[in-house]
Amino acid sequence: MRLVLVGPPGAGKGTQAQFIASNLSIPKISTGDIFRANVSGGTELGKLAKTYMDRGDLVPDEVTIAMVRDRLSEDDAQDGFLLDGFPRTVPQAEILRDMLKDWGQKLDLVLELVVDDEEVVRRLAGRRTCSQCGRIWHVEFDDKRDDVCDACGGTLFQRDDDKEETVRHRLEVYQQQTAPLIRFYADEDILVGVDATGPVEEVTQRAMKEIRPYAG
């Protein structure tokens, strides 16, 4: 099965991608993993991407797409894959469609993890990171009433990208970039939404219930 997972920051894409890919016995392929593999492996694409990353610039689409193409051509992805983090835009989605068509393949499903903005803010703005061991706690979910890490005694702090104003800005950017992508896949008639609120296991069960009819 060939599947794309989309959803806003804080929707739990990384966690759900892992569980869903495991349930379907297909590789989970994220752009982050692809970038790290190319950079650490010293590939030509990795070296090129690193020149942009070192300057703090976005890696151009053509480099990202070339990395994705290489990864999808590997043996373990021939019978299916789950893409997390790609495509992010309609032009990328069109290139992916054409790439797969050239290989005699197509996407079976695009699964959208649906979470409302206030739930995302609640999830992300409540996170606190230990300055000593790096563990992440949540002021609500972990019943934290102090700023001390229960694991090592280090001081907890709120990362800048977890602050409410930053989270809301990230959500605005996501909506601007991804709303057209959602419409694109809806028009392709391969988009299915799943409620991503509640315990992780329940979300996975809902997702698998939606996926199975498409899994053949």
Kindly report the number of other CB atoms within 10 A of residue 179's CB atom.
10
CA 214 remoteness from chain centre: 21
Q: Is residue 24 very low, low, confident or very high in pLDDT (cuts 50, 70, 90)?
A: very high
Could you tell me the sign of the dihedral formed by the alpha carbons of 95, 97, 103, 109, in that order?
Answer: positive
Q: Are 107 and 92 in contact (CB under 8 A)?
A: no
What is d(CA 187, CA 18) in angstroms, rounded to the nearest whole number? 27
What is d(CA 110, CA 155) in angstroms, rounded to the nearest whole number? 41
Q: Are 36 and 97 in contact (CB under 8 A)?
A: no
Range of weakest confidence among 69-73, 144-148, 155-159: 144-148
Where are the alpha helices (H) located in 25-163, listed in sequence order? Answer: 31-41, 44-54, 61-72, 90-102, 117-125
Residue 112: closest CA among 199, 20, 1, 216? 20
Residue 144 in this model has a pLDDT that exceeds 90: no
Q: Which are the catalytic amino acids?
A: 13, 88, 127, 159, 170
Residue 102 in this model has a pLDDT that exceeds 80: yes
Pairing, β 109-114 against β 2-6: parallel
Residue 26: closest CA among 68, 83, 87? 83
What is the reported pLDDT for 216?
A: 65
Average pLDDT over residues 56-83: 91
At 129, the amino acid letter reads T
Kindly report the number of other CB atoms within 10 A of residue 148's CB atom.
14
What is d(CA 46, CA 125) in angstroms, rounded to the nearest whole number? 33
What is the reported pLDDT for 41?
A: 92
Q: What is the mean pLDDT of the chain?
A: 92
Range of weakest confidence among 21-25, 175-179, 208-212: 175-179
Average pLDDT over residues 7-31: 93
Q: Name the more confident of 50 and 185.
A: 185
Six-digit token string for 124 = 């992300």
